């Protein structure tokens, strides 16, 4: 606690989105701000709601979104529009009631902190003359690429031609066309999507789950672009004392299996909460893991392999080949896994949470980005920060070689050294006087100043 009476119980309403990669940093942020004396209401959709028993310190407000699942194949823009429309009135009613109750004069100074895709929250806050702040759960380095999309479409450079994929994009060094988000999206669809992103118009500030040392250049550009304070307070995973934030049940049994493995020998494989694969990709991954001869912990989310419930399509002979050397599970306690001394590498889709979690534990990565900011993150991990290997394609030989390069070869050891030094820097940024520590202090002051 910072011991400042002004902030005791000052109300914050956090509006979370139903995506795992967005919910996690929002819950972490809530925990951090609660520890600074704020009172936290966590507004969340019914779909993918967090477990209140993990956060007895929060008040939860359920918004009926009228969705029963996130359909990855559906039109994302339409999904977001409907989600925002369905939740808007309930939040507005709740906040109006709070203000009118007037029992607590502090209710007039509620600050709304919302996930960037829950843009309705900003509209509600603005209607009620409340202040709103956005939480961004992607990398900062992704945004300059995202903001350049209209220009690249107008110049006819997007959607990208195959022949251009390896070319560097002018003004976006070090990104290649293949690293750009939505690079094959037709212009009409991209225009709709970009218009939606513009719906977040007037936040008073932006909170970014990142560190100055890691993304200073992107943060500088974004400060110029948005002209509002940007508080870089990551890595939230290390700042917050937060229990599990998973929607799926974590299979904690894998930790005792890890206890039996040699130090830095295991490759941990997970493509996050949304990515899917087909049967061929599953097969190439499986045999690549088998042929690498390294122990592995492989998360295959139920439903993530098209046309199957779980791992029915695992190739014949695979289980016998890897018996005793590998575990396949539905969902891992990733934070614990990455901090385990047996884990030597993380084969990841490079979602921003996974990236920060790996960096925070000094674990080097194999990068297999799938969509959105992951391609930008992968480029930074492999080319700029040099703590990851880019997986050129998903073929058995390429996979086998990447795993061995990371876990056995000197190249991997050098990456591990760099990853460990990034872990140290991340840790120092949270210490008193460090950049994230100072940014959090500034955020607290900023929030109290109204
Ligand atoms: N995660 C987990 N267990 C798993 C796989 C993922 O707890 O088996 C967590 C991971 O720690 C991370 C989040 O799920 O916090 C995934 O977020 P990320 O931004 O990396 O990717 P997304 O799921 O949004 O694509």
Atom of ligand 1 nearest to the CA of 244: 7
Ordered per-residue pLDDT tens for the chain, 450 residues: 444 545 568 999 999 999 999 999 999 999 999 999 999 999 999 999 999 999 999 999 999 888 878 776 678 888 999 999 999 999 999 999 999 886 556 556 899 999 999 999 999 999 999 999 999 999 999 999 999 999 999 999 999 999 999 999 999 999 999 999 999 999 999 998 888 887 777 789 999 999 999 999 999 999 999 999 999 999 999 999 888 999 999 999 999 999 999 999 999 999 999 999 999 999 999 999 999 999 999 999 999 999 999 999 999 999 999 999 999 999 999 999 999 999 999 999 999 999 999 999 999 999 999 999 999 999 999 999 999 999 999 999 999 999 999 999 999 999 999 999 999 999 999 999 999 999 999 999 999 987
pLDDT for 3 = 44
Q: What is the 3-state secondary structure (H, E, C) of the chain?
A: CCCCHHHCCCEEEEECCCCHHHHHHHHHHHHHHHHCCCEEEEEEECCCCCCHHHCCCCEEEEECCCCCCCCCCCCHHHHHHHHHHHHHHHHHHHHHHHHHHCCCHHHHHCEEEEECCCCHHHHHHHHCCCEEEEEECCCCCHHHHHHCHHHHHHCCCCCCCHHHCCCECCCCCCCEHHHCCCCCCCHHHHHHHHHHHCCCCCCCEEEECCCHHHHHHHHHHHHHHHCCCEEECCCHHHHCCCCCCCCCCCCCCHHHHHHCCCCCCEEEEECCCCCCECHHHHHHHHHHHHHHCCCEEEECCCCCECCCCCCCCCCCCHHHHHCCCEEEECCCCHHHHHCCCCEEEEEECCCHHHHHHHHHHCCCEEECCCCCCHHHHHHHHHHHCCCEEECCCCCHHHHHHHHHHHHCCHHHHHHHHHHHHHHHHHHHHHCCCCHHHHHHHHHHHHHHCC
CA of 299 to the centre of ligand 1 (A): 11
Q: Is the pTM of this model over 0.85?
A: yes
Question: How many Cβ atoms from other residues are within 10 Å of residue 89's Cβ?
Answer: 12
Q: Using most ligand atoms within 8 A of CB, pick from 76, 116, 250, 272 the residue to mutate for ligand 1.
A: 272
Which residue among 17, 20, 337 is best mutated to probe the pocket of ligand 1, counting the most ligand atoms within 8 A of its Cβ? 20
Ligand 1 centroid from CA 272, angstroms = 4
- 286 shares its domain with 356: yes
Per the structure, the count of domains in the chain is: 2
Distance 167 CA to ligand 1 centre (A): 30
The ligand 1 site (C-beta within 6 Å) comprises: 19-21, 24, 246, 270, 272-274, 299, 331-332, 334-335, 351-354, 357
pLDDT, position 200: 72
**Which residue's CA lies nearest to atom 17 of ligand 1?**
21
The ligand 1 atom at the shortest distance from the C-alpha of residue 272 is: 23
- Alpha carbon of 10 to ligand 1 centroid (Å): 31
Atom of ligand 1 nearest to the CA of 270: 5
On whether both 357 and 442 belong to a single domain, the answer is no
Residue nearest to atom 14 of ligand 1 (CA): 272
**pLDDT at site 124:** 96
**Cα(273) to centroid(ligand 1), Å:** 6
Position in ligand 1 atom list of the atom nearest CA 354: 20
CA 357 – ligand 1 centroid, Å: 9
For residue 271, the tally of other CB atoms under 10 A from its CB is 25
Which atom in ligand 1 lies closest to the alpha carbon of residue 299? 8
Residues 392 and 436 in one domain: no
Q: Are residues 408 and 440 in the same domain?
A: no
Residues 330 and 238 grouped into a single domain: no
**Atom 24 (ligand 1) nearest CA:** 21
Domain range spanning residue 29? 4-245+431-448
What are the pLDDT digits (tens) for 159-182? Answer: 999 999 999 999 999 999 999 999
Q: How far is the CA of 246 from the centre of ligand 1 (A)?
A: 8
Q: Which residue has a Cα nearest atom 13 of ligand 1?
A: 21
pLDDT of residue 72: 64
- Same-domain pairing of 219 and 342: no
Contact between 276 and 302 under an 8 Å Cβ cutoff? The reply is: no
Q: Cβ(213)–Cβ(429) under 8 Å?
A: yes
294 C-alpha vs ligand 1 centroid, how far in Å?
23
The pLDDT value given to residue 9: 85
Q: For ligand 1, atom 3, which residue shows the shortest CA distance?
A: 332
Q: Whose CA is nearest to atom 11 of ligand 1?
A: 334
Query: Could you tell me the two tokens for 213?
Result: 């040392």
How close is the Cα of 243 to the center of ligand 1, in Å?
A: 14
Same-domain check for residues 182 and 292: no
Tell me, in angstroms, the distance from the centre of ligand 1 to residue 77's CA.
22
224 and 265 in a single domain? The answer is no
Q: Please check whether residues 71 and 208 belong to one and the same domain.
A: yes
Ligand 1: which residue has its CA nearest to atom 6? 272
CATH number, domain of 262, equals 3.40.50.2000
Q: Tell me: do 173 and 237 sit in the same domain.
A: yes
**Claim to verify: residue 34 and residue 70 sit in the same structural domain:** yes
Are residues 239 and 374 located together in one domain of the fold? no
pLDDT given for residue 5 in this prediction: 47
- Find out whether 290 and 322 touch, Cβ atoms under 8 Å: yes
Determine the distance separating the centroid of ligand 1 and the alpha carbon of 100, expressed in angstroms.
39
Q: What is the pLDDT of residue 73?
A: 66
- Structure confidence at residue 7 (pLDDT): 54
Q: How far is the CA of 329 from the centre of ligand 1 (A)?
A: 14
């Amino acid at each position: 606690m910072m011991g400042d009476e002004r902030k005791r119980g000052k109300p914050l309403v956090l509006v979370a989105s139903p995506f795992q990669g967005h919910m996690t940093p929002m819950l972490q942020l809530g925990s951090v701000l609660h520890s600074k004396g704020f009172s936290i209401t966590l507004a969340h959709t019914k779909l993918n709601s967090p477990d209140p028993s993990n956060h007895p310190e929060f008040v939860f407000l359920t918004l009926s979104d009228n969705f029963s699942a996130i359909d990855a194949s559906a039109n994302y823009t339409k999904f977001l529009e409907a989600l925002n429309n369905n939740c808007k009135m309930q939040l507005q009613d709740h906040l109006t009631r709070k203000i009118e109750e007037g029992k607590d004069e502090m209710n007039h100074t509620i600050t709304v902190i919302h996930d960037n895709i829950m843009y309705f929250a900003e509209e509600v806050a603005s209607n009620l003359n409340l202040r709103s702040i956005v939480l961004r759960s992607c990398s900062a380095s992704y945004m300059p690429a995202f903001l350049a999309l209209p220009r690249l479409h107008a110049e006819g450079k997007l959607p990208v031609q195959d022949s251009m994929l390896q070319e560097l994009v002018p003004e976006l060094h070090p990104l290649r066309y293949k690293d750009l988000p939505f690079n094959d999206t037709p212009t009409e669809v991209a225009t709709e999507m970009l218009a939606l992103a513009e719906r977040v118009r007037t936040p008073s500030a932006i909170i970014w789950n990142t560190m100055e040392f890691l993304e200073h250049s992107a943060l500088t550009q974004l400060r110029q672009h948005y002209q509002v304070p940007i508080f870089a307070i990551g890595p939230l995973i290390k700042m917050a004392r937060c229990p599990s934030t998973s929607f799926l049940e974590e299979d904690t049994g894998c930790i005792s299996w890890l206890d039996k493995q040699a130090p830095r020998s295991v490759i941990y494989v997970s493509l996050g909460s949304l990515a899917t694969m087909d049967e061929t990709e599953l097969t190439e991954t499986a045999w690549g893991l088998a042929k690498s001869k390294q122990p592995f912990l492989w998360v295959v989310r139920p439903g993530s392999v098209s046309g199957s419930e779980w791992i029915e399509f695992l190739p014949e002979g695979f289980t016998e080949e890897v018996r005793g050397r590998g575990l396949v599970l539905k969902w891992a306690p990733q934070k614990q896994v990455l901090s385990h001394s047996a884990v030597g590498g993380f084969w990841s889709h490079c979602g921003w949470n996974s990236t920060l979690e790996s960096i925070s534990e000094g674990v080097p990565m194999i990068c297999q980005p799938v969509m959105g900011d992951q391609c930008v993150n992968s480029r930074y991990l492999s080319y700029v920060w040099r703590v990851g290997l880019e997986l050129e394609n998903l073929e058995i030989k390429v996979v086998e070689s990447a795993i061995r390069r990371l876990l056995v070869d000197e190249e991997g050891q050098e990456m591990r050294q760099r990853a460990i030094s990034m872990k140290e820097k991340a840790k120092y940024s949270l210490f008193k006087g460090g950049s994230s520590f100072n940014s959090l202090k500034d955020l607290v002051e900023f929030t109290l100043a109204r």
